[in-house]
Chains A and B, each alone.
Chain A
Amino acid sequence: MRAALSAARRVSLAICIGGFASYSAICGTPEEDDAAIAQNLAAMLRDARTVISDQQDLINNPQLGDKHLTGDVVLAQAIAKYEKDTGSDPKKVDPASRQGRLLRAMMAAIVEVVDDNQPTINEEGTGFKGFIPAVFARLVAESFVHLAKGEAEIKVTAPLELVRNRKARPDPWETEIIEKRLLDPAWPAGQPFSATVETKGRPAFRFMVPEYYAESCLACHGSPKGRMDVTGYPKEGGKLNDLGAVISITLYH
């Protein structure tokens, strides 16, 4: 039990920093394929978000104008992390495959978001610019939904009381899963939840990856609860390893 909990913490840390092994979607059942795709999409998103997290000092440097942190740069670093975490190169996934299409949509969304926010990132004279990993992840998710063209959706949501942007609000199914499963103390830490359910009138594979607060997360989401964080939003009072976010991926059939 203790070994499992320790492993879960390691997984949660890995989630926070984007470290997940790549799942193969070649030789499995349809559900196993969907799970692998969803897992890889989540890994890519988390790795790109980790890059943005790592570059916060650079982004918020007011003295520096052009940071040369373009979409390509971020994607390159994200891919590097992805490869490191999963041991596979996303660019080598068959572009005609569902996974290939969706990974490329994810990578394109990453590039698009970073490039769209270059003026913000490169604004000289402004320290904190609000281009934080969460905003980056939401924007990437929104962009991914657009680029996936109805084939899949991805959303970084959270337990309802922790959701800051109403676009990240869990839908009723997500809310139920979070409350009944992921927040259940007996739920193995880091273990995703997946199910095939009808969503928006279509059969879909839904995959919920829990993410837990790491030490670096508590700067904005920790204590004291209610005190404004650097973004001007009241802290939630979260503690280390609390369920802080859920990457919800929907793969429509």
Chain B
Amino acid sequence: MAWLTIRMRLILLTCAGLFVLIATNAYLTKKLAENSAGMITAADLLKSIEEANNAQIAFGELRYWMTDLAVSQLTMAERSAAAARARVEKHLDELQSWNPQRIATVRSEVAQYADLAGKAADEYTDDRRVIGNSLLAQARQHSMVADQLIAAIVQELTGAAIAARQRVVAEAEKATRLSQIVVAAAVVLGALLTFLILRSIVVPLRRLTVAMDGLNAGNVAVAIPEAGRDEIGAMAQTLTMFRDTLRELRETLAQLEALREVGRAVSSTLDLDRVLSIIAARAVDLARAQAGMIYEFDEATREFRFRASHGIETALTEQLRAAPIRFGEGAISAAAVAGSPTQIPDLLRERELAVPKLSAALSGLGYRSLIAAPLLHEQDVLGGLVVARCEAGEFSKEIVSLIESFATQSALAVRNAKLFEEQRRRERDLRVAHEQLKQAQANLIHAEKMASLGQLTAGIAHEIKNPLNFVNNFAELSGELMQELRDTIPAPGAEQEELIATLGANLEKIVEHGRRADGIVTSMLLHSRGGTGERRATDLNALVEEVLNLAFHGARARDRSFNIVLERDFDPTLGPIELVPQDITRVLLNLFGNGFYAANKRLGEGTDPKFQSSLRVTTRDLGDQVEIRVRDNGVGMTPEVQTKLFTPFFTTKPTGEGTGLGLSISYDIVTQQHSGTITVDSRPGEFTEFTVRLPRRHQPAEPAMAKGASA
């Protein structure tokens, strides 16, 4: 009945009651009208009876007064008789219409009686009693006739009145019975309608009351009766809106609380995994979903990498972590491209946006739909938030908005984490730079010292070199002379032989160490003197090949057991390069020598029986630059060593095997003399690779503040 308004129901109830009332009233009115007609007839008959009775009574009075007149002779009796006669006539007049003929007969009889009785009275007045008696006897005859006529009329009228009354009574009883039936039916129907209408009002009202009590108690899940089209339906709608508003408020409050918690987590901790886990958990809770995942975008690999989750099984977590999503795949990429959330309402049907393996894994676990929101900072993609649930279908606008909010928070967290990492890296870099600066400062001081020492050394070396040349030359000459002396002695004695041999050996040692000293002095002079060669267009490939061979054979000359696999990968399109061949030769000799040393050292360690030392040399044309890569598979270097690699006099070689000046000199040659760059990449126990890049054309060198691995 809720399709009718309460007012309409009440109007219908009233109309039904009024209809019954009016119908009953109309019927009763009709019956009453008929009964009224019958009653009028009966009343007319009764009136006629009354008139007849009155006429009879009046006629009796007439007779009485006439008799009284005859006896008393009082005029009062005469007047009373006259009045009685008048009443008789009057009553007969009233009866005239009923039956004029019979009334005329009565009139005639009454008139004759009155006339004779009056005459009798006159006779009595005149004391003629005999005549009076005679006349009165005649009058008596008419009196009896008139009396009988009137009595007959009364009787006839009474019968007719009784019949009329019985008809009226019968009709009234019939109408009463019918009206009682109608009233009883109306009462029953009215009671039934009233009960139904009251029930249609009271029951929903009671349900509304229960719902309102529930809402007052804070139960937003309370069931609200279905809203009909009536006033209670309007109340139910209003209550539903109130409940929905309350629920939305609660949800909004929960969202705000969640966002506040997330914001607090974002602002209170730099543990990105923890923050992202919290965000995923809250997003899942508030989106009434079952699983949440947060991916971080790796700009380098252009992949979304799984970073945090909530509600995901461990196995799936590992699976997701091991299977990054390439940019361009899946809803997460679509969301990143669109800059707004993207949904997959049904994982079982979606083909375009789904990542096959991921969708299969999720649907296999019962998830049916997901929504992905990008983590954006300005135009940069930082990652994506994915929320999955077990039921298919579109996510509501509120949830989409909520996911966007969480994505924003996630982006902020990721951004903060990145900034924090950047900050930490910068701090670390600064610390390193600071250390390097301090080292450079120390190096500079040291360099200054070394420069002074160099200059001093250069002077000393220059001064030493001449006498050393003398020593060497004369030692060699002495050696030759000793040989000649021996040759001049035809039969040297044993003592002589021993003496000559000892002298020869001494001379050889003098020569050896003299040459060594000469080498040291020469190096000292070269280091202190700087580049002095002329630039010329040089076939770098040929130069590298020449130096490589020279170095290899030099090494083998020093150590016959030395061996190494040389790999060459020269760019034939390299073309001529402007450089100082002697200096670059020195650089290459240093690099090759170091490579041979490291590879040979690793070989010597014998940790890997299958190890085969190798050195790979690669040249590449980079356009305006050429690149030379020298990679050995030797012992490698720690980062700490790498940072000090180009520092003058820094060496990891045993004393006597390295001066610590080779790479320092090489660095100066490449960077300052040729405006190039030299870098090193190494991993301890695996490899070391030097990369030298030289401009094709000479460019003025920029002053280098410090030497380092990344220089």
Question: A residues near B, CB below 8 A?
Answer: 163-167, 169, 233-234
Contact = CB atoms under 8 A, between A and B. Distances in A.
B663 interface: no
Interface size, B (range): under 10
A167 B76 contact: no
A53 to B, nearest CB: 21
Nearest to B78: A166
Taking chain B's interface residues, is the majority helix, strand, or loop, or is none over half, making it mixed?
A: helix
21 contacts: A163-B75, A164-B74, A164-B75, A164-B76, A165-B72, A165-B73, A165-B74, A165-B75, A166-B69, A166-B73, A166-B74, A166-B75, A166-B78, A166-B121, A166-B125, A167-B73, A167-B125, A169-B75, A233-B74, A233-B76, A234-B76
Given A164-B76, A165-B72, 15 more contacts: A163-B75, A164-B74, A164-B75, A165-B73, A165-B75, A166-B73, A166-B74, A166-B78, A166-B121, A166-B125, A167-B125, A169-B75, A233-B74, A233-B76, A234-B76
Interface in B322-358: none
B128 to A, nearest CB: 13
A74 B585 CA distance: 211
B76 to A, nearest CB: 6
Interface in B72-101: 72-76, 78
Interface of B: 69, 72-76, 78, 121, 125
Contacts, number: 21
B336 to A, nearest CB: 128
A234 B74 CA distance: 11
A165 B69 CA distance: 9
Contacts of A234: 76
A233 B78 CA distance: 13
A233 B73 CA distance: 13
Nearest to B76: A233
Contacts of A166: 69, 73-75, 78, 121, 125
A169 to B, nearest CB: 7
Contacts of A167: 73, 125
A166 B72 CA distance: 9
A169 B69 CA distance: 13
Chain A to chain B: the 6 pairs with minimum beta-carbon distance, closest first: A166-B73, A163-B75, A165-B73, A166-B75, A166-B125, A167-B73
Contacts of B74: 164-166, 233
A234 B125 CA distance: 21
Contacts of B73: 165-167
A234 B83 CA distance: 15
A228 B8 CA distance: 76
Contacts of B121: 166
A233 B121 CA distance: 19
A118 to B, nearest CB: 22
A166 B65 CA distance: 13
A233 B80 CA distance: 12
A166 B118 CA distance: 12
A169 B74 CA distance: 10
A167 B72 CA distance: 10
Contacts of B125: 166-167
A176 to B, nearest CB: 18
Contacts of A165: 72-75
Q: Which of A167, A169, A233 has the most CB of B within 10 A?
A: A167
A4 B440 CA distance: 181
A166 B127 CA distance: 12
A165 B78 CA distance: 9
Q: Which of A163, A165, A234 has the most CB of B within 10 A?
A: A165
A167 B78 CA distance: 12
A169 B73 CA distance: 10
A231 to B, nearest CB: 10
A166 B73 CA distance: 5
